[in-house]
Amino acid sequence: MNRIRAFVTHFAISAVVVGLALALILLAWYPAPYFEVSGAFDVVAILVVAVLIAAPLMTLIVFRPGKSGLVFDLVVIALIQAGALAAGLSVIFQERPYYVVFAIDRFEILARHDVDAAAIDDDRLRQKPWAGPIYAVATMPDSFAAQQQLINDVLDGKPDIERRPEFWTAYSEDSDVVLRKATPLGDYVRDRPDAASFAVQMMASRTGGTRLVGLPVIGRKDAYVIVIEPADRRPIGMLPVNPWAPLD
C-alpha cells in the first residue's frame, strides 16, 4: 500500500464514522430546529476537521512502506483520532437540548445540567423522547408572598423560573398560555424586514401556513424565532433572526 492509498483508505473509514456521528447528532441529539440555535455548529465543525481531515492527513505524512515503527505511528494516530471523536461527542451530548421551557413570553433551550432534575415531580417532565427535548411551561406562583420570595431568590443569584422545575408544568397541559403570547408569522413579514423572506418561505411551505405563529427562543448561541403550528402546538422550524435585535 502506498501513501495515497493509505490516505484514501483512512479518509474513507473516517468519513463513514463521521457520517454516523452526524446522523446521531442531527437526528437524535439536535433534531430540527435546534441545531443552529443551540450553538452546536462550532463544536461539530471542529470535530469534523479533527476526525475527517487532520487524522488522514497525519497518515499521509507519516506513511512510508517499509518504514520502521510505521505500525506504532498509525496506532498513535488512530488513538488520537478516537480520543478527539470521543471528547467531541461527549461535549455535544452533554450540551444537547434536553429541556425547552416557555416562560413569560419566550422559550429557553436548556441542557440537562442546567436544571436540578431532582426537583421535578411530574413524570411527564422526566420522560425525554429518544429524539428531541422535553417541553415545559414555567409559570409564576399565584400568591404574592411566593412571588416576592422568587424575586428575592433571583436577586440572590438563584435561577429564574425557566430553570426551576418546581414552577414547571407539562407543555401539553399549558400550551394555551404559549399560544396567547405567540405572534402570527404575518406580523414578522410586516414588521421585521430581516425575517420577512424566511417567514414567507415558511408559510408557503405548509398548507394553512398563514396560521403559523412565532415566539422568541433563546439558545446558547443566539435568540431566534421558533415557529409553531397551532393545530398540534409543536415547533416545526425557526426563523434565523433575533426578534429583539434593533432594525437598521
Q: What pLDDT is recorded for position 58?
A: 93
Mean per-residue pLDDT, 32-51: 86
Q: What pLDDT is recorded for position 248?
A: 65
Within 13 Å of residue 82, how many CA atoms lie on the same side as its CB?
6
Q: What pLDDT is recorded for position 206?
A: 84
173 and 186 fall within a common domain: no
32 and 102 fall within a common domain: no
Of the residues 94, 122, 148, the one at which a domain ends: 94
Cα–Cα distance for residue pair 169/123, rounded to 1 Å: 10
- Whether 132 contacts 146, CB under 8 Å: no
194 and 242 fall within a common domain: yes
Of the residues 79, 94, 109, the one at which a domain ends: 94
- Whether 116 contacts 107, CB under 8 Å: no
pLDDT band at 234 (very low <50, low <70, confident <90, very high): confident
Give backbone dihedrals phi and psi of 216, rounded to 5 degrees, phi first: -60, 145
Q: Map residue 199 onto helix, strand or coil.
A: helix
Cβ neighbours of residue 237 under 8 Å, at least 6 residues apart? Answer: 32, 33, 202, 226, 227
Q: What pLDDT is recorded for position 3?
A: 87
- Rg of the chain over Cα atoms, rounded to whole angstroms, equals 23
Q: What pLDDT is recorded for position 129?
A: 86
Helix/strand/coil percent split, the chain, to 5: 55, 15, 30
Instruction: Give yes or no for residue 156 having a pLDDT over 90.
Output: no
33 and 46 fall within a common domain: yes
Q: CA torsion 8→10→16→17, rounded to 10°?
A: -160
23 and 70 fall within a common domain: yes
pLDDT in tens, 164-182: 999 999 998 888 999 999 9
Total domain count, the chain: 3
85 and 115 fall within a common domain: no
196 and 113 fall within a common domain: no
Of the residues 94, 125, 150, the one at which a domain ends: 94
Q: Which cell numbers in the block locate residue 42?
A: 462550532
How far apart, in Å, do the first and last CA atoms of the chain sit?
Answer: 59
32 and 88 fall within a common domain: yes
pTM: 0.84
Candidates 236, 196, 197; CA nearest to 213 is 236
Boundaries of domain holding 106: 97-178
137 and 159 fall within a common domain: yes
Candidates 159, 215, 155; CA nearest to 33 is 215
Range list of H helices, 100-184:
144-155, 171-181
